[in-house]
Structure 1
Amino acid sequence: MTTRPIIVTGTDTEIGKTVFAAALAGALGAHYWKPVQAGVEDDGTDAMRVARLSGLPRGHVLDEAYRLATPCSPHLAAEIDGVTIDAARLALPAFDGPLVVEGAGGVLVPISRRETYADQFARWGAPVVLVARTVLGTINHTLLSIEALRARGVPILGVAFVGEPVEDSEATICAMGGVKRLGRLPRLDPLEPAALRAAFAANFRLEDFA
């Protein structure tokens, strides 16, 4: 069982990254943290979704460092809300056990006018799980994300796919990107905690996250 932080990021927004983060955090019995939340959906914040889906004790789902009202890129949401994001408040919390940290959108989403999430990941130095869709366009988006992370020296634990199986795309990404294929989480309808736990257990190996 891992005791180090794991960062969950994505190739784009609305790809299933939060659902995967909930599944991973629940399987590891980890703490979960999304440091910056920009906008609140009808079903609440991402932390609220993770609390519902993961089965974690409420105390394991940490409050955001910044909860911004405007639903857009964090750098612009902060400006609109009159907030300055202080990098010191984004330092990783220290726990004896595992910590799952979720980014926002893709790896090059700006946190400020000077830095992206990938820059913050490099500062943290923790390994990244890159969540990618299996639909058309995923090869380009995922390989570009891998290049952006590697350019900053960010360690990549592997790629977790979300969606229907597309064998060639998944295999091509991992071969050309030189990354581990961690598994694929199917879309679940209805999306319920028990079904998510079962789907994660059937498609991923916990030892790959150690």
Structure 2
Amino acid sequence: MPIVVVTGTGTEIGKTVVTAAVAAAAAAQGRTVAVLKPAQTGLAAGEAGDAQEAARLAGSGVTGVELARFPEPLAPATAARRAGMPPVAPQAVAEAAEKLAAEHDLVLVEGAGGLLVRFDDAGGTLAESARLLRAPVLVVAPPGLGTLNMTALTAEALRARSLEPLGVVVGSWPAVPGLAARCNLADLPEAAGAPLLGVVPEGSGSLPAAAFRTAAPHWLAPALGGVWNADAFAQAFAAAVG
């Protein structure tokens, strides 16, 4: 998988940290990695964006690339329009990812918000970029109530575009998970029609970078370069669910 698209079921659910964890696991295997953020919103010039943060956490050998930045924290198409700046088109995202793939072993394309958030006023989305790239799509989901519906809708939108979800990663697993989160360990794969490929603990993005890199493979399944075991993790909570 030279290119993987990372999308969320919504915003602020741990997408950047999951992207960083996948990058760190790949880098630990000796692979060169690029993290591509097509559109960064809500940050001023000079502030570290998601691609730079993922690269910082994942360590040396990981390159962060940002195609466009818009100052207001809005959907990319809206933010570009209000800033009077040109938007990012799906074709430009695909071309940038392909160029990076020629120079790196793995390219992670991190979207903004959910799969169908608009990049431009023509209706271009991250899903269109994934279709152009013929790339697998990793879905990042929250752990709690409501996540099954959001995950199922994302998976349905992917399949409607002849794309398959690579799997699901829980982006921010709480230290003390509630009943819904514990039950969702078993139910998320069914909702997505794809395997659960990892669980990233809440607050992992605040770890020192060296500690993050050491821990990352233990949050991710072998399909993402880690050693995490979904069955063993779920069984640890099974008795509590009843």
**TM-score, structure 2 as length reference:** 0.77
Contact 2:149 2:191 in 1 (8 A): no
Does the Cα contact within 8 Å between 1:43 and 1:49 map onto a contact in 2? no
Q: Given the alignment, which residue of 36, 41, 56 partners 2:60?
A: 56
More displaced 10-residue stretch of structure 1: 180-189 or 141-150: 180-189
Counterpart AA for 1:111: F
Across the aligned residues of Structure 1 and Structure 2, the Cα RMSD in angstroms comes to: 2.2
Displacement after TM superposition at 1:100 (Å): 1.1
1:172 equivalent to 2:187? Answer: yes
Query: Among 30, 34, 37, which residue is 2:37 paired with?
Result: 34
Question: Which structure is higher in helix share?
Answer: 2
Partner of 1:69: 71
Identity value in percent: 36
Which residue of 75, 82, 85 maps to 2:84? 82
The CA distance in 1 between the partners of 2:224 and 2:25, in whole Å, is 12
Equivalent residue number for residue 105 of structure 1: 113
SS at match of 1:63: strand
Name whichever of 142-151 and 114-123 sits farther off. Answer: 114-123
Asked if 1:182 is matched to 2:190, the reply is no
Q: Runs of 5+ in structure 1 lacking a partner?
A: none
1:154 Cα deviation (Å)? 1.6
- Find runs of 4+ consecutive structure 1 residues off by over 6 angstroms: none
Aligned to 1:195, the other structure's residue is in SS state helix
Asked whether the 8 Å contact 2:40–2:49 carries over to 1, the reply is yes
> For the residues of structure 2 that align with 1:176 and 1:132, how far apart are their CA atoms?
11
- Out of 198, 204, 207, the position equivalent to 2:220 is 204
CA distance in structure 1 between the partners assigned to 2:219 and 2:65 by the alignment: 29
1:185 alignment partner AA: V
* DSSP-derived class of the 1:112 partner: coil
User: Quick check: 2:55–2:64 contact (8 Å CA) kept in 1?
Assistant: no
The number of aligned residues is 206
TM-score, scaled to structure 1 = 0.88
